[in-house]
Structure formats: structure tokens, C-alpha cells
Amino acid sequence: MSAYILRRILSTVPVVLFVMIFVFSLLYLAPGDPAAILAGDQATQEDIENIRTQLGLDRSFPVRFVEWAGGVFQGDFGTSIFTREPVSTMILQRVEPTVSLMIVTLIIALAIAIPMGVAAAWKRGSLLDRFIMLFAVLGFSVPVFVVGYVLAWTLALKLGWLPVQGYTPIAEGIWPWLRSLILPAATLSGVYIALIARITRATMLEILQQDYIRTARAKGAAGHTVLFIHALRNAMVPIVTVVGLGIALMISGAVVIETVFALPGLGRLTVESILRRDYPVIQAVILVFSFVYVIINLLIDLSYTLIDPRISY
Amino acid sequence: MISRRTLLGAAAATPLLSLPSFAQGATKTLRYVPSSNLTILDPIFTPAAVSITHGYAVFDTLYGMDANMEPAPQMAEGHTVSDDGLTWEITLRDGLMFHDGEPVRAQDCAASLERWSKRDGFGQALGAATESFSAKDDKTIVIKLTRPFGRLLHAIGKPHSSPAFIMPERLAKTDISEQVTEMVGSGPFKFMADEYVSGDRVVYEKFEGYNPRSEPAAWTSGGKVAHFDRVIWNIIPDPATAAAAIQAGEVDWVASILPDLAPLIEMSPDVELFRQDPFGLISVLRFNHLQAPFDNVEIRRAVLKAIDQTPYMQSVTASEANQQQCLASFPCGLPGVNELGEGIIGSLDVEGAKQALKDAGYNGERVVILNPTDIASIHPHGLITADILTKIGMNVDLQDTDWGTVVQRRVSKESVDNGGWSIAHTNWPAISIDNPATNATTRGLGEKGWWGWSQDEVMEETVADWLSAQSDEEAQQLFDKAHARALDQVPTIPLGQTFQDGAVRTDLTGLLHASVSLFWNVDRA
């Protein structure tokens, strides 16, 4: 097992290297000039050239890449072209809101989707099943920003139960933190509830046809025992896989949600940096995302061994 | 072992623990939503409005601008001018202090003016006429000129696009190609660097050491009395969310409200619209003067014939109250601006334009219009211009792209076949182009000037004469001469003046008009 984990962690090195080269090359080739954006509307060509030289943007591709990559291997992601802050500081400032949003979203999604999927499978073809599947279709179809605006208008603006926008750090108290996340997380969770509920239902339907389920019933096991102990546990591998993929999708969903609810997270940092061509920030954020994605995949693979003892590495 | 009851009790108490204490409740806080994120802190380095707003909170200027757009002493006690007009001495008033506790000295001011004169357009004009910025003693700044510069106080008191903010000498010595990142000013608010998170929040605290003037506050002059202990900027990128936040009472002041959302604000009992800048924005169509076909003045004049400002203004705001046709190359309503373009701008003579184009020898050259799809106030301009030019028979190539790419491509002097361009649109805060020296859209500096590179020696001579003018009458005459020249040479086409409303909670009083939000004088009723 340890050898497997080590092997998997080492396998992230070429992935990250590839991402580094790919992202750097892509940004180098992409149109846009941060020096021109920085200089503003009144700037002359000379002003822009001076800023470009000052920022080292006039140097060749290999020189810039080697300098940047060397810094990354020493844990230095460079300095933002615009704010002149260390990129690592900017990322650290933005991690908490995004991670908090993802955790609360995941909790809401799992708490609702798995019982929904199980119930839909258990009552297959019933009104409840159809209602749950209708909800799932809606969850997929309605854009998250529409859901966000509707929830904000009703729960925050009209009823005043929750804040319209903003993020409260967890250091300022669990309840204020949670209060600031309920609306965005509920909004973002819609699509994951739909996704996980459908997968749970489909997998449960397949499992419930298995011989060992019939045997369990024949032994006189209670309905909930059959459903949650015998069936759901065996359905967990595909569900966990989808949850893992969902976390990656959540990163893209977070971009929209963080904008609608003014959460200062990594998604917004990414979009803002792309729009203003803040290369060091874009490169670092994409690297972090790719690394996180690799680690999540590793954790999911490892979780299979806990769910299903027949799987070992 | 923790029992379930203990855990539930602790959870229930958590919200109480997070409530602010009474001491915190006594802190008077103003919550403000700027129109964009603050990324560049140095307000000399960039003319971005959000950086200027930040600049006015933290820094002070030697002269401010009063409600009549006339310079008024701010950090200065007064000034003297030598008989030949070549030596200006500005005396600092007493009690000026930087946020780090150091007194403001003339040396700080001289270094700040020198740095500013390398970046700002008006500053560069002053810099070109200046032999030296120096300090006679700690209280007296000396500006030695090589030629008279009658508009000197207008230059160092300008209220927008890189005003001449004063910094400590050690910061003002920073190369102009580099940003100053340490925010130490002598303005009414201190920048709280440890609470600043770009993209989320910017925090200022009242500077107890600030010594306001005794005159009433107006625009950027007079007594800058801070009534709030803290000013917190909440960066809210989505306009609908910002509008909802002020309706819910989560913020006090939103700098700009999307025109579509203004009716919602009007219906809210506790919120009202507030037009901060009475002069608004001017949209412009800029030609590339280096490349065909717009290197030909007759073709630029032909296009001018076909332009009607109305659809351009309507594309920015549907509200007629927020549109003003301005038949001038300078913003209407500002001192010295006469509407000289009547009969020249906005004639909407498509047939006349077609004929003029033919007479000018237009040969079907491709007209590349750079059009940023991600800037709502500019994107429709490209579509309207493309339509008009097509109607008059031009070979139009409308190139939709993002703002970042437009900003890069518009500084390219290449031909359209090599990635160059023919037309681009932008908008300017009216106040920032209010005279012949600051109006980059009419200047004729050629390749050393604003993108589009209009070269016009006559215009530049007129600007130089205007800067040197010793009387108001002479200055007005030269202003009109420069204006007439711009209307004749058509370096740029003005597309009308539009106004942007912000929103404030109705319990706020004392909001000042200016081109950017000012946080002094504002109080809660």
C-alpha cells in the first residue's frame, strides 16, 4: 500500500511538469499584454515599453520559463504583476473561502443526494421516484447563477434570513461562517445533488437485483438493513468516483458562485487574473488546481480499499 | 468525554461568542462598494478611477479643485510667482503629517511632483516646461520654469487621472515604471495594509493626525473632515449582487449601479440614486492615423458626417436623463468648453458621407474595428460603428475580442494585414479631458502620444500657447482655437456624454460631488 501511495505521489511530478510547460507556453502565446493594461488608457508606447522592461516581460521565453520554474521548485510562485504581492500570499488568502464553499457544498449534496437516490431506487416507478428524477433534471438544467439570484432574492433580500453576499472567515465564529456559506453552497450543490442522486439511484437499482440482496431478505433482514448495509455499501464505489469527479467540476462552478455571492475565493482570483493577464497568478493557480486534482484522485482510489475489502493495491 | 448536551450547548453559544462587543459597536464604519477591484495601489502609476479613489483617501494634494473647477489651496498655505512668471514658490501650511508620524516637508512635495510629472499627461506638459522642482526650506517648494506656465495650479490641482498626490520623499523617489506599494500618505485616512485583500476588501482608518482646512469641503478642496472611524471597501464583482447588498443594508454606498438596475433602487425606500460625477463619461471613436484609410483627413471627415451620437449613448444607458448630446470635442458643461461642433458633429448625413468618401479617394481599404466583447459600455459602440461604416460603403472587418487583447493590439502601429487596426472605441471620465493639454483625444503628439497617434503641429503649438497664457481671456481664446482645430482635423469622434449613477443609503449625508468617491464630509444622520 505504502509503495503504491509513493508511486502515485511520484507520478504527480511529470503531471505537474507537463502542466507547468503547457500553461506557461499557452500564456506566452496568448494575446494580451499586462504592461499595456497596467499602463492605462493614456499611456504612450514608451511608457508601456518601460513597464515591460521593468517587469522583465521583454525577455525571451526560455529565460522567463527557467526563472519561473526555478522559483516554483523552491516554493516561490513569483510576484503578481498588478498588486506586487507574492503570489503565494494571494493564493493563501483565497484558499479558505473556496475550500469552505466546497466542503459545505459537498456536505449538503451528500446529505440530500444519497437518501434521495436510495429512496428513488427503493420506490422505483413511484410518484416519489418521478419527483426525485424531475428534481435531478432541473438540477442539471437550471444554470447555477439563476438559482443563486432566486435564492438570494427570496432568502436574503425578501426574508432577510441570510446575507446577500460576502464571506465571514471561520475565525470569526462557526455560525457567521456557516451563515455566509449557506446560500452559495445551497446554490452550488444543486447540480451535485442531481448528479449524485442519479448515480446512486442507478447503482442501487443494479445492486438491488443481486442474489445476495435476495438472500438477505430471505434471511429476514429488515428493509433498512438491506438497503443501507447490504445495498448502499456495495453501491459506494461508483458514488465515491462521481463525488471525486464532482470536486473537480466544483472548482469551475465555484468561479460563478464566488462572483454571484462575492466570495473572495480562488475561482474569482483565477478569472480576474486571466482578464488582466496576471501571468504569475494564473500559472500558480492552475498548478495548484492540477495538483489538488491529482491528490483527490489518489484519495478516491485509496478510499476504494476502505469501502470494498476486495480491492487492494 | 463530551456529552451530546454539552456539544449542543457549545454550538448554541457560538453565535453569541461571535457577536461584536459594545466597544466594537461604537466604531463608526462606512461600507463602500467600488466600481471595480483595487489592484494597483499607486495612484500616480495608474490613472484608473478606483486607484484615484483610493489615492484621495490616503494622500493629499497641494491644491484641490473647488466646485467652480478652480484650484484652491489644500496642503498649500499659498504661493508666489516671480515677475517673469518663471519661478513659483508654494508654501506648506502648518500641521501636515504623514501617516508614519513624519512631518510633510517641501522635499517630499518636490520629489512627488517630479515623479508625477513623468507620468501624467498634464504633469508631462508641466515637466517639459520645468527646469527643476526643489525645496528652498522645509516649508517652501520652488518650481523653476523654462517658460511661463499659467495653468500650473490647474495642473498640480487636477482632480482626476493621476492627481499630483504627495508622498514621502523616500517613496516618491521610486522609478515611475515601478509601483509604490507602501501606502504612506498625509490624507484623512490611513490605509490598513494588513487588512487589504485584493479582490475582497480594502480597509481605511481615520487618521487622527490629519489637520483639515477650515473652509467647507467642495470637490477635492476645503476641509477634509472624516466622520467615520473606518471605511471598508467590499469588492462585489456582480452588479446585481451589489444592488441587492445595498437594498439589504449590508453596504452603505455602491459607486456605480448598472442602468438596468436603477429602477429597482428607485423603488427601495432606504436607498437612493446618487450621481457622483456631474460631468459623466465621454465615449470616443479613435482613428489610427498611421494607416490607411484614416491617415487621410478627408476620410475622417466623411465618417464624422455619418455619425449620430444618440445610438451610442442609448447603448450605454436607456435612461434619457443620463444621456447628453455634446457637439464638441471637449466635454460639455466644463469651464471653457463651448459647443463649437454644431453643424459638424451629429449631422447624420449618410448620403453626404458616401459622396465625401468617394471624393476623398477611398479605395476599399479594409477597416479593422477592435471590439472588446467583455466591456458592456464599449462593445455596442463597435457594432454601431460597423453598421454606419458599412452603410456608407466602407469595407468593414469587425474583430470581436476581449479587452486585454484590445489593449495590446491598439498599441500596434502595424498595418491591418500585420495585426494592426483602424478604429477602436473607449470612454473617458469627462473631467480628465477637460482642457487642451489633458485631452489626449485631441492632442497631436504623433507617435509619442496616445494610441491612434494623431500628429498635428498646429494643435501642439496651440496647446503650448494655452499653457503659457497669462490671462483668462487669452486662455479662452486659445482653448477655442484648439477646439476648432480638433473639429477640423477629426483626430477622434466624440460619441456623446453619459452619466453613471451610484446608490447610497438614505441615512448618509454630506456626500460630495467629484469624479471619484470621496470619504470625508460624509456622515450618518
The model's pLDDT over B138-151, given as tens digits with 9 standing for 90+, comes to 999 999 999 999 99
Q: Which of A27, A33, A44, A258 to mutate to test the interface with B (most CBs of B within 10 A)?
A: A44
Q: Which residue of B has its CA nearest to A255?
A: B237
Instruction: Mark yes or no for CB contact A32/B235 under 8 Å.
Output: no
Q: Are residues A57 and A92 in the same domain?
A: no
In a domain, A193, yes or no: yes
Distance from CA of B275 to the nearest CA of A (A): 24
Same domain, A34 and A98: no
Q: Which residue of B has its CA nearest to A170?
A: B18
Look at the block and give the residue holding cell 448620403: B351
**Digit-coded pLDDT (tens) for B354-402:** 999 999 999 999 999 999 998 888 999 999 999 999 999 999 999 998 8
**Chain A contact set for B242 (CB, 8 A):** 165, 262
Q: In this model, does residue A28 exceed pLDDT 90? A: no
**Cβ–Cβ under 8 Å, residues B491 and B456:** yes
Contacting residues of A for B449, CB less than 8 Å apart: 44
pLDDT at A56: 84
A48 chain-B contacts, CB cut-off 8 A: 411
Range(s) of the domain holding residue A42: 2-73
- Comparing alpha-carbon positions, the chain B residue that sits nearest to A171 is B18
One domain, residues A39 and A92:
no
Q: Tell whether A208 and A96 lie within a shared domain.
A: yes
Measured between CB atoms, does B201 come within 8 Å of chain A? yes
Burial string for A222-247 (b: 16+ CB within 10 Å, else e) reads eeeebbeebbbebbbbebbbbbbbbb
Q: Look at residue B25 in the predicted model and tell me its pLDDT.
A: 53
Confidence of residue B10 (pLDDT cuts 50, 70, 90): very low
Q: Taking CA atoms, what residue in B is nearest to A161?
A: B248
The per-residue pLDDT for range B90-147, each reduced to its tens digit, is 999 999 999 999 999 999 999 999 999 998 889 999 999 999 999 999 999 999 999 9
The tens digit of pLDDT for each residue in A187-239 reads: 999 989 999 999 999 999 998 888 988 898 898 888 888 888 888 888 888 88
Which of A278, A277, A282 is CA-nearest to residue A80? A278
H helices of B395-504, in order, are: 403-409, 457-468, 472-489
Q: What is the pLDDT of residue B16?
A: 39
Let me know if A283 is exposed, middle or buried by CB neighbors in 10 A (0-12, 13-18, 19+). Answer: buried
Pairwise CA distance, residues A290 & A286, whole Å: 6
User: Does A42 contact B15 at a Cβ distance shorter than 8 Å?
Assistant: no
pLDDT computed for residue B318 by the predictor: 86
CB atoms within 10 A of CB B507: 11
A97 falls within a domain:
yes
Whether residue A255 is contained in a domain is answered as yes
Does the residue A283 lie in any domain?
yes
Give yes or no: residues A8 and A104 share one domain: no
Q: Name beta bridge partners: A108.
A: none
Q: Does B94 touch chain A (CB under 8 A)?
A: no
Tell me how long chain A is. 313
Q: Tell me: the pLDDT tens digits for B477-492?
A: 999 999 999 999 999 9
Local confidence band at B294 (pLDDT 50, 70, 90 cut-offs) = very high
Instruction: Read off the pLDDT band of B7 (50, 70, 90).
Output: very low
Judge if A216 and A290 occupy the same domain. Answer: yes
Question: Is B237 at the interface with chain A, CB within 8 A?
Answer: yes
* CB–CB contacts below 8 A, A to B: 145
User: Cα–Cα distance between A153 and A148 in angstroms, integer?
Assistant: 8
Could you give the 3-state DSSP secondary structure of residue B74? coil
d(CA B435, CA B448): 19
Give dist(CA A231, CA A224) in Å, integer.
10
CA–CA separation, A301 vs A291, rounded Å?
Answer: 16
pLDDT of residue B163: 95
In a 3-state reduction of DSSP, which class is residue B427?
Answer: strand
The chain-wide mean pLDDT, for chain A, equals: 88
* Contact A32/B at CB under 8 A: yes
Q: Which residues contact B312 (CB under 8 A, 6 or more apart)?
A: B283, B380, B381, B384, B495, B496
Query: Residue A183: what residue type?
Result: L
A159 touches chain B (CB under 8 A): no
Residues 179-238 of A with CB under 8 A from B: none
Residue A53 to residue B238, Cβ atoms within 8 A: no
**CB within 8 Å: B200 and A264:** yes
| Cα A168 from Cα A263, distance rounded (Å) | 9
Domain shared by A69 and A128, yes or no? no
Domain CATH code at residue A175: 1.10.3720.10
A112 with A259, same domain? yes
Q: What is the mean pLDDT of residues B321-341?
A: 93
Scan for cell 529565460, then name that residue: A63
A178 and chain B: CB distance < 8 Å anywhere? Answer: no
Q: Which three cell numbers stand for residue B354?
A: 458616401
User: Is residue A130 assigned to a domain?
Assistant: yes
Q: Are residues A293 and A198 in the same domain?
A: yes
Asked if B444 has any chain A CB less than 8 Å from its own CB, the reply is no
Distance from CA of B376 to the nearest CA of A (A): 14
CB-based contacts of A164: which residues, under 8 Å, 6+ apart? A152, A156, A157, A261, B241, B244, B245, B248, B250
Beta strands B502-505 and B253-254 are antiparallel
Substitution target in A82, A164, A167 with the highest count of B β-carbons within 10 Å is A164
Cβ–Cβ < 8 Å for A262, A97: no
Domain count for chain A: 2
* Same-domain status, A68 and A107: no
What integer best gives the mean pLDDT of chain B? 91
Q: Please indicate if any CB of chain A lies within 8 Å of the CB of B47.
A: yes
State which of A33, A51, A73 marks the end of a domain.
A73
Task: Please name the amino acid found at residue B473.
Answer: E
pLDDT at B2 over 60: no
Amino acid identity of residue B524, one-letter, is: R
Percentage of chain A lying above the pLDDT 90 cut: 39
Q: Do the domain assignments include residue A80?
A: no
Q: Are the C-beta atoms of B241 and B253 separated by less than 8 Å? A: no
Region of B147 on the Ramachandran plot (φ > 0 left; ψ -120 to 50 alpha; else beta): beta
The Cα of A177 is separated from the nearest Cα of chain B by a number of Å equal to: 10
Indicate whether A115 belongs to any domain: yes
At which of A51, A73, A95 does a domain end?
A73
Residues of A in contact with B198 (CB under 8 A): 80, 82-83, 85, 90
Kindly state whether A37 is in contact with chain B, defined as any CB-CB distance less than 8 angstroms. yes
- For the beta sheet containing B201-206, the strands, ordered from the edge strand earlier in sequence to the opposite edge, are B189-191, B201-206, B230-234, B29-33, B253-254, B502-505, B271-274
Rounded to the nearest angstrom, the minimum Cα separation between A187 and chain B is 14
Tens of pLDDT along A258-301? Answer: 999 999 999 999 988 988 889 899 999 988 888 888 888 888 88
Across the interface, whether the CB atoms of A31 and B405 are under 8 A apart is answered yes
**Is B266 an interface residue toward A (CB < 8 Å)?**
no
| Residues A210 and A288 placed together within one structural domain of the fold | yes
Over 60: is that where the pLDDT of A164 sits? yes
Q: Which of A15-24, A120-129, B20-29 is predicted most confidently?
A: A120-129
Task: Determine the Cα angle at A218 with ends A217 and A223, to 5°.
Answer: 20
Q: Rounded to two decimals, what is the model's pTM?
A: 0.86
A36 near B CB under 8 A: yes
| Section B50-75 average pLDDT | 95
What is residue B8's predicted lDDT score, i.e. its pLDDT? 41
Q: Please check whether residue A79 lies inside any domain of the structure.
A: no
Please give the grid coordinates belonging to residue A5: 501511495
Grid cell at residue A160 = 432577510
pLDDT digits (tens, 9 = 90+) for B159-176: 988 899 999 999 999 998
**According to the 3-state scheme, what is the secondary structure of B6-40?**
HHHHHHHHHHHHCCCCHHHHCCCEEEEECCCCCCC
- Which residues, at least 6 apart from B349, have a Cβ–Cβ distance to it below 8 Å? B305, B306
**Final residue in a domain of this structure, among A73, A95, A114:** A73
- B402-434 tens-digit pLDDT: 888 888 888 889 999 988 999 999 999 999 999
What confidence category does residue B29 fall into, taking pLDDT thresholds of 50, 70 and 90?
Answer: very high
Alpha helices in A123-173 (DSSP H): 127-141, 144-151
Interface with chain A: mutation pick from B7, B31, B39, B426, highest number of A CBs within 10 Å: B39
Nearest to A160 among B177, B248, B428 (CB): B248
Same domain as A135, residue A260: yes
